[in-house]
A and B are shown apart, each in its own frame.
Chain A
Amino acid sequence: MTRFSKSRSSKPEQEARGGGAAMRVIVPLQGVVQGRGGLVLGSIIPCVLFYFLQLYLKRNRNDADSENEQNPGGPNTTTRSSSSGQLPELDAIPRSLSRALLSPKSPSGPVSVSARANGIVKGGAESPYNVGLKRVKEDPYDELANPNGVIQLGLAENKLSLDLVNEWLVENAREALLAGGGELGISGIATYQPFDRLMEFKVAVAEFMSQVMEKVVSFNPNQIVLTAGATPAIEILSFCLADSGNAFLVPTPYYPGFDRDVKWRTGVEIIPVPCRSADNFNISITALDRAFIQAKKRGLKVRGIIVSNPSNPVGNLLSQETLYSLLDFAREKNIHIVSNEILAGSTHGSEEFVSMAEIINQEDLDRNRVHIVYGLSKDLSLPGFRVGVIYSFNNEVLAAAKKLARFSSISAPTQRLLISMLSDTKFVQKFIKVNRERLQKMYVKFVAGLKRLGIECTKSNGGFYCWADMSGLISSYSEKGELELWDKLLNIAKINVTPGSSCHCIEPGWFRFCFSTLTEKDIPVVMERIQKVSEICKSRS
């Protein structure tokens, strides 16, 4: 009745192991006593016994400790939970039996939640992402009300063009919840959604996706599965394409949320495939291949690659050539490709966006291995509304994803509102165009500002951020050095930025700055603050 058991193996199995070990010790001991085996066994066996004892204590201590302190991937140690106030040695020995004998009036003992829950709650609590968010929440910058507050540069949100959406709403003031009564009345949206109502929304979304990608591709609404945001879309695809224990290859640096979306509840692993600044952080097929082979050696089955295009945090667009190479690679290894294109409409600059869908349209082969993730959180600035899309050419995946999406469906009134908005093609066109212009403007200004401080950014064409090389300012060329700089930026400069280590970048010193929550006026303020820290770092080195 152990409550600390993390593994799936039940108690009797563990007892059997212990029993077997005992037998394996007793028989040779008899041999030693009777003179067979001699000195060798006489010295080995006590050592082995001692070893097993240590192993047993260590295993149980690990189980107890990992409940209290598990920290997958977080750079800082977490604080221990209140239930761990006791000595570790005591915790190591399961006390379930003694607790069962206590009267029911005893105070609550440690109750086991799932191992998964413990890992999630304890791990990452002190991650830079969370710490930074918290600081901004507590002390948000406001030009007038709180000019010394923390400026948010760590959230990839686009506030630049919300006014356009707002304007549309006011002009098209339709009571979308009750458009005309009758079939479109409350019973039309409050109830479980009939199939055809959902289709109307899918048609609108398909059309929007096509417009966003400049009408080069047309998207078939029948190949869409809707989800409550892109977060569950990624998770659902992970559940569909891989079993627990399998893995996906993901080029780094990557969006920190993938660790949650791909791994938390699925049991699927991510194998990071490093991209280098020398390559402008572009994907290398060689690196993918190497990672695939290494995975195989470790006994990990790779089920697919997840790429983001435009990429986050770097902002690269994948060239047509790269897309073809990825497809070749996937075909050769017989694996899937998940292309996260959630920022397809948020490009700026001269390079053209090419969707995976474009490549596939031209070749009939391999349609079944390509899946695209999209959503309205970035391109339409509506993260609160929770609209995500899985777009696949694989009917089996669509069928499975549709069922899995029941855990993450989109609110009906939101669908109703968006059908109206997305169907207004004039508005959509205008929005995409103006949004791009504003992004471009901010990007150019921001990057120029950093350049004046001697900080270079990779050339990027998409996303709401720039990827800056601050390795010149870090005290030691390591993750530790990078995090020290991050800390200075947060607490001295009072700007919240995302350190490259959170994105699994192998080269220390890179930071992501999101500029889309700022106005132009804020840029000089940000630069001034960075300069302050820059001077501190330079004077100390």
Chain B
Amino acid sequence: MEKGNRSRQVLSRIATNDKHGENSPYFHGWNAYERNRFHPTQNPQGVIQMGLAENQLCFDLVEKWIRENPNASICTREGADQFKEIAIFQDYHGIKEFRQVVAKFMEKVRGNRVTFDPDRIVMSGGATGANETFMFCLADPGDAFLVPSPYYPAFDRDLRWRTGVQIIPVDCHSSNGFRLTRAAVEVAYKTAQESNINVKGLILTNPSNPLGTTLDMETLKSLVAFVNEKNIHLVCDEIYSATVFNSPRFISVAEVIQELEHCNRDLIHIIYSLSKDLGFPGFRVGIIYSYNDIVVSCARKMSSFGLVSSQTQHFLTSLLSDEEFVDNFLSKSKKRMAKGHHDFTKGLKQVGISCLKGSNSGLFFWMDLGSLLKEQTFEAELELWRVIVDDVRLNVSPGSSFHGLEPGWFRLCFANMDDQTGEVALERIRTFVLDNGKKGDEGR
């Protein structure tokens, strides 16, 4: 009933709890950046954004293509006659040609070693929407998914917030390069079982965020065997698949199941998106790919909550049909990523800072600043992080946001800046490290 003059409007639990995770440092750093954005000439003392995994390395290629292909944009004279069909189109199956080009693109990224069925491609509101939709389809409230840690911070929101699903981290350690092992998955699974938690599946991010590493065939095979044995789902987040710039080459779960004779394909699902590989996060293109008919059907119906704009579908159909463009883009993109990664890691190594060995992918690197911590605790890590954001003026992501076990690791994104900004960023870190070294920190 009304209390006094102002009625108290009680909102739902979801609206009022913290499970959106936006109160974590991962997101706070972005605010610091928003308030004081770096610009090479207009604001050279500003904060450099290294906390957002965005791929801006090949925009020049896309811009050129757009200029040369005005029909692709329905908002040009040349493209306007297709407008009516596009404007009205809201079928949740998506434009057939769009699904076909996405399937072909995914095949190309995997070296054409696998084929994808366009009818199994379902849209979602970015990978964010895809992550969540898979949970809605595969798990009920209270069920759990195993997630190797360290993991992408927004999984907490995407997998849990509205779905009521739990995350059970699978611990990975620096002692073996954070490599995921079947043994670790089994331990996490067993522990969950003992606590009467119903585990519905395992999510792998391959290539990994934040590690920037890929899984080898043996590990993938053992994990596929594991889920088959337990009859649980395997959801592979492959949104960084085209960001593999060094060997070992990327191996998709699609390739693995081709090699295994007795795999229950109803358990296998892939998350994809154009946000990372192509650098189009603003287009909100999330892709759900499942070998399970029920999941495809359910996800497709749920895609009404996050359909890709038909204008965007139309544009991308044109863009991705241009094989020459795609081949050129993928190859240049890899080269530029390799260079950026190499420049940073080399520059850091020179001042005694190491990044995760064997990282060959992703738009970031996983940096070990353990030697700069006052003590090996997460509190110390956050303290160091604040110094880096406020004084060094770099928005980096502290390892604690990724739910790892060991403090001192930081994720730095490098693919969202040009060479000039990159040099400034590197210089700032090197200066900071050397200054702190000079202060006579022990424990290096």
Partner-B contacts on A (CB < 8 A): 3, 5-6, 8, 10-12, 96, 99-100, 104-105, 108-109, 111-118, 120-121, 157, 159, 162-163, 165-166, 169-170, 173-178, 181, 185-187, 189-195, 228-229, 231-232, 235, 239-244, 246, 260, 264-267, 303, 331-332, 334, 336, 365-366, 368-369, 377, 381-386, 394, 396-397, 400, 403-404, 406-414, 417, 420
Q: Are A383 and B138 in contact (CB under 8 A)?
A: no
Given that A260-B304, A265-B302 are known contacts, is A239 also in contact with B15, CB under 8 Å in the complex?
yes
Report the bound CA distance from A365 to B3 in whole Å: 12
Given that A384-B90, A400-B15, A411-B308 are known contacts, is A264 also in contact with B77, CB under 8 Å in the complex?
no
Q: Are A241 and B7 in contact (CB under 8 A)?
A: no
Q: Are B282 and A190 in contact (CB under 8 A)?
A: yes
Given that A166-B84, A192-B281 are known contacts, is A386 also in contact with B309, CB under 8 Å in the complex?
yes
8 Å CB contacts to A: which residues of B34-85? 34, 52, 54, 56, 59, 62-63, 66-67, 70, 73-77, 80-81, 83-84
What is the distance, in angstroms, from A20's C-beta to the closest C-beta of chain B?
Answer: 18
12 contacts between A and B (CB under 8 A): A10-B196, A108-B264, A113-B138, A162-B88, A175-B67, A190-B281, A240-B12, A332-B2, A334-B8, A383-B90, A386-B310, A413-B73
Q: Are B88 and A159 in contact (CB under 8 A)?
A: yes
Partner of B75, one of A169, A229, A409: A169
Q: C-beta contact mask, B123-162 vs A, less than 8 Å → 1, else 0?
A: 0011011001000111111110000000000000110001
Given that A178-B63, A412-B282 are known contacts, is A386 also in contact with B142, CB under 8 Å in the complex?
no
The answer to whether B292 has its CB under 8 Å from any CB of chain A is yes
Q: Are B75 and A365 in contact (CB under 8 A)?
A: no
**Residue of B whose beta carbon sits closest to that of A412:** B282
Contacts of B196 in A (CB 8 A): 10-12
Other contacts beyond A112-B200, A386-B308, A396-B15: 19, CB < 8 A: A5-B198, A108-B266, A111-B267, A113-B138, A117-B138, A157-B88, A163-B84, A169-B80, A175-B66, A192-B282, A228-B306, A240-B12, A240-B14, A244-B141, A267-B141, A397-B11, A409-B284, A412-B283, A414-B309
Report the bound CA distance from A406 to B19 in whole Å: 14
**Residue of B whose beta carbon sits closest to that of A7:** B140
What is the distance, in angstroms, from B362's C-beta to the closest C-beta of chain A?
Answer: 17
Contacts of B75 in A (CB 8 A): 169, 173-177, 417, 420
The answer to whether B384 has its CB under 8 Å from any CB of chain A is no
**Residue of B whose beta carbon sits closest to that of A195:** B34
Partner of A111, one of B136, B266, B279: B266
The answer to whether B325 has its CB under 8 Å from any CB of chain A is no
Partner of B87, one of A162, A241, A336, A396: A162
Q: Are B88 and A243 in contact (CB under 8 A)?
A: no
Contacts of B56 in A (CB 8 A): 187, 191
The answer to whether B13 has its CB under 8 Å from any CB of chain A is yes
Partner of B294, one of A117, A265, A382, A409: A117
Partner of B89, one of A113, A241, A332, A384: A384
Q: Are A407 and B315 in contact (CB under 8 A)?
A: no
Partner of B298, one of A117, A157, A414, A417: A117
The answer to whether B323 has its CB under 8 Å from any CB of chain A is no
Report the bound CA distance from A408 to B76 in whole Å: 27
